[in-house]
Structure 1
Amino acid sequence: MMLNRSPDKAGTHRGNDTLQTLDEPLDRIGDWGPTATAAGLFQLVPVRVERDLRLLTPWMNDPAVAAFWELSGPPAVTENHLRAQLDGDGRSVPCIGVLDGTPMSYWEIYRADLDPLARHYPARPRDCGLHLLLGTVGDRGRGLGSILLRAVADLVLDETPASARVLAEPDLRNIPSVTAFLNAGFRFSAEVDLPTKRAALMVRDRSLRHLM
């Protein structure tokens, strides 16, 4: 399973006219620690280019991933995408997902209210967003994505108390991804027209997290 990036290139995040203050950057994800899931012990580890580029480049060149992430090509393509976030102001944090000690997924945790996405839906202050791809074919299509999406969304809510909800915007054509979000306790909120796709706006609400 793989999810799409934001409507603009990651790392070029800009707030809309009413949501411009970066008062809670996501710069402490490395301190969140591991969380227990039905699939094993999972942890988000912030990306280090010199360590992780060799891992991420083949994932981005997987045709199933490239169709949605559009980052296929030589290592420099992935490196530029990562550095745009790492050299930014903490609005988006690229991470490796480590399951029982094995790096197996790539995540971007970002401030959705300060992202170009905020121009396309009724954003609320401190909305958080996420993107995910599972690195290997063997990890896809068996429910693992839903388990990890639920775990990470709940981590975000636990570790960012001012955030009332977590959002994502998978391509409507990516039925496995939309289904994974639904199975992870997200609700379908709306269809939104973004610059590069028509997306399903998926929301996991703090107030409903124990019911879904």
Structure 2
Amino acid sequence: MPFDVASQPLSLPRWGSLSADEGDARLSLTLEGRPLIQLRLVPGEVLAVHLQEICSERVQQALWAACYWLFARDVGCQRLQWHLPDAVPQAQATGLLLATAQAGVYLSERTLFWQLPQPWLGESISAVYPQQMQMSDGKRHPRRAPKPRGEVYRRFDSRLGAWVSLRTLEIEEDLERYSRWQNNPRVAHFWQEQGSLEQHREYLTKLAADPHALTLIGCFDDQPFAYFEAYWAKEDRIAPFCQADDYDRGMHMLVGEESHRGPHKVASWMSALVHYLFLDDPRTQRIVVEPRADNAKMIGYLQDQGFHCDKEFDFPHKRAALVILGRERFFDRCVLV
């Protein structure tokens, strides 16, 4: 649902607070108290956006911010039609603007906008890592990029009024927290990884040395609440069951803090995790998940995010459901705000 832009400013990673003065036919955006862009809006089958004033020092940033505001305020808005006096080559080079046959008229597509890596990825490496095929444990797959360290994703969720972010797990900082979460009977029922601190240290150390796995901590307003494992499906045990492509990703998820359970929180962190995995490498076309087949609640949450249940299959330790989300489907119906 659209939110009340007049009373609710948006926050941007490393940019600060974005606020607006908006009427039926106008939009003025201010970033950190400085005027950024003024627009005249003409509703129609496609919302027409006529530029009136723009900060000449921050043209690219101003156009991006306007797209963000208009797409975030109305999840049903799929396309913007820009009317600009001058071309903006940088915006066209990134896919923020698409040229049309009509001079001075450009399009912004929701599907493309949410695939732009910045500012969500921040300082993390977002360039495409070159491809070289290699063999490991009898599996042929691309060489994987070095793992990132620190925060890899941040977005302000206007529905929660909170920051949702992902950072890499640091064993010395997170071991006790991770062990406490795994020993929670609710978590242990599905993960079956309960144990001592030393057992959990050994487990996390093994993952840290595994190029195909990335361990992450999920945070709301910088407070850790969840643990995620992202992995490259081609090298994983799931590969034979999903016909894994070279850049398919998978994920394991647990919410450790009871105060952050609930469908509204799941919708926020799960969309953030999926968004990050698709942004991390544009060659990733699918995300696969293999929850226990009897975990109806988690499967339902995944389906709410656009995943579909492909089949059930047997791992040695569990009966699993193969649940899949394609890149095109995620961005075509992208409801991030």
CA contact (8 A) 1:25 1:91 kept: no
CA contact (8 A) 1:189 1:203 kept: yes
Is 1:72 the counterpart of 2:181? The answer is: no
Partner of 1:35: 155
Task: Tell which structure's C-alpha radius of gyration is larger.
Answer: 2
Show structure 2 runs of 5+ residues with no match.
1-134
Structure 2: which amino acid aligns with 1:65?
V
Show structure 1 runs of 5+ residues with no match.
1-13
Alpha-carbon offset, residue 158 of structure 1? 1.5
Partner of 2:251: 130
User: Equivalent residue of 2:164, what SS?
Assistant: strand
Structure 2 CA distance for partners of 1:32 and 1:190, relative to 1, 3 Å:
same
Whole-Å separation in 2 of the counterparts to 1:16 and 1:75: 29
Whole-Å separation in 2 of the counterparts to 1:46 and 1:76: 20
Q: Displaced runs of 4+ in structure 1, greater than 6 A?
A: none
CA contact (8 A) 2:152 2:167 kept: no
User: Equivalent residue of 1:98, what SS?
Assistant: strand
CA contact (8 A) 1:26 1:110 kept: no
Match of 1:62 among 184, 198, 204: 184
Structure 2: which amino acid aligns with 1:79?
R
User: Equivalent residue of 2:292, what SS?
Assistant: coil
Instruction: Show CA shifts across 1:150-189 (max 9, x none).
Output: 2211211112111101111100111111111111221112
Whole-Å separation in 2 of the counterparts to 1:133 and 1:44: 13
Instruction: Show CA shifts across 1:109-142 (max 9, x none).
Output: 1101110111222211211001110012232233
| Identity score, percent | 25
Aligned length: 197
Return the structure number with greater relative CO, CA threshold 8 A, min gap 6: 1
Whole-Å separation in 2 of the counterparts to 1:127 and 1:99: 27
TM-score, scaled relative to structure 2:
0.55
Structure 2 CA distance for partners of 1:26 and 1:190, relative to 1, 3 Å:
farther
User: Equivalent residue of 1:24, what SS?
Assistant: coil
Alpha-carbon offset, residue 77 of structure 1? 1.9
Which protein has the bigger strand share? 2
Match of 1:162 among 278, 283, 297: 283
Instruction: Show CA shifts across 1:62-95 (max 9, x none).
Output: 001011111112111211111111122x210111
